[in-house]
Amino acid sequence: MDVIHSVAALRERLERVPNNVFVPTMGNLHQGHIQLIDIAKPRAACTVVSVFVNRLQFGPREDFERYPRTLQGDFDQCRAAGVDVVFVPDEREIYPEPQTFVVEPSDLEHILEGAARPKHFRGVATVVLKLFNMVRPHSAIFGKKDYQQYIVLRDMVRQFALPIEIIPAETVRASDGLALSSRNQYLSVEQRKEAPRLYAILCKMRDELQAGNREIQRIELEGMAELARHGWRPDYIAVRRQADLQEGTPDDTHLVIVAAARLGSTRLIDNLEVELC
């Protein structure tokens, strides 16, 4: 496994094996990332993982400074998972000058996660476009845990006609249902016990929808009220269309319930796809 820090060295290394598949990450790898790598591996001769905590996608009061950085453990996990190249640029390598050109995801930037985290998706899309230009993969894997991020990047690739296949991967969960996330480690022992409630509520909402209940607004409000009763501060729970995360019509059958809520000072997100017949 090669650990590479500069774009020049990355280009030189990848010239030898141009057939590559890419897993962008911010490090602090867990089983969710390993699943992305496992999906990537059989698709190309060379699997590239990037580890870069991207300041541009964090708001001024968010956790950029304390975001867990565990490089040595990340390298060990990448090696064990059979990664060929780990790209670990520093900030000057990705942003050698102020980033005055950005990718603006328009509508998706202003709803749900976009509304709660202004400029977040612009930061994500901008860094991912830059990473794509550096790695030049034929495919890239993104977890559906960050559902809106996946939709933003899928649409970016399509609208800019980038020759890259975006492959979504299912969310990996702990045995009690909590979606794996680097931010779970901010939770206290008590909060960690409470945290699976978010997914449990999504499952309950899915069951109601599948049982034929179409009172979407009431279902959403009940979900949020239940979280609030247990000490959470929900940002949103919303039933949306899978295709574009807009509000659906009664005829839509491919839905996703997306949610974000704070437990103490930790903000957790999750989602659940719902198929109606």
Q: Scanning residues 215 to 254, which ones bind ligand PAF (CB under 6 A)?
A: none
- Smallest gap from Cβ 27 to ligand PAF, in A, equals 8
| The only residue of 14, 24, 141, 202 in contact with ligand PAF, by rule CB under 6 A | 24
105: contact with ligand PAF by CB under 6 A: no
Q: Which of 21, 26, 164, 255 binds ligand PAF (CB under 6 A)?
A: 26
Site residue total, ligand PAF (CB under 6 A): 10
Known catalytic residue at 33: yes
- Cα 180 to Cα 177: distance, rounded to the nearest angstrom: 9
- Smallest gap, in angstroms, from Cβ of residue 146 to ligand PAF? 5
Residues 43-72 that bind ligand PAF (CB under 6 A): 54, 57
Of 96, 251, 274, 85, the C-alpha closest to 259 is 274
* Minimum CB distance to ligand PAF, residue 110 (Å): 18
Based on the shown chain and the rule CB under 6 A, indicate whether residue 28 belongs to the binding site for ligand PAF.
no
Burial of 207 (0-12, 13-18, 19+ CB in 10 A): exposed
- CB neighbour list of residue 260: distance below 8 Å, 6 or more residues apart: 112, 113, 116, 234, 235, 236, 267, 268, 269
Residue of 44, 103, 108, 128 interacting with ligand PAF (CB under 6 A): 128
Q: Is 202 in the site for ligand PAF (CB under 6 A)?
A: no
Contact window for ligand PAF (CB under 6 A) among 80-88, 121-129, 157-165, 242-250: 121-129
Query: 263, 149, 255: which is closest to 196 by C-alpha?
Result: 263
d(CA 239, CA 48): 35
Task: Compute the 3-state secondary structure of the chain and give helix, strand, coil in percent, each to the nearest 5.
Answer: 40, 20, 35
Nearer to ligand PAF, 57 or 171 (CB): 57
According to the binding rule CB under 6 A, does residue 25 interact with ligand PAF?
yes
User: Cα separation of 10 and 215, whole Å?
Assistant: 52
Strand extents, DSSP E, 130-231: 139-143, 165-169
- Kindly name the residue from 33, 110, 120, 138 that is annotated as catalytic: 33
Residues 268 and 272: their CA atoms lie apart, in Å, by: 14
**141-160 residues near ligand PAF, rule: CB under 6 A:** 146, 149
Give the closest residue to 198 by CA, choosing from 268, 108, 128. Answer: 268
Residues identified as active-site: 33
The residue ranges that bind ligand PAF (CB under 6 A) are 24-26, 54, 57, 124, 127-128, 146, 149
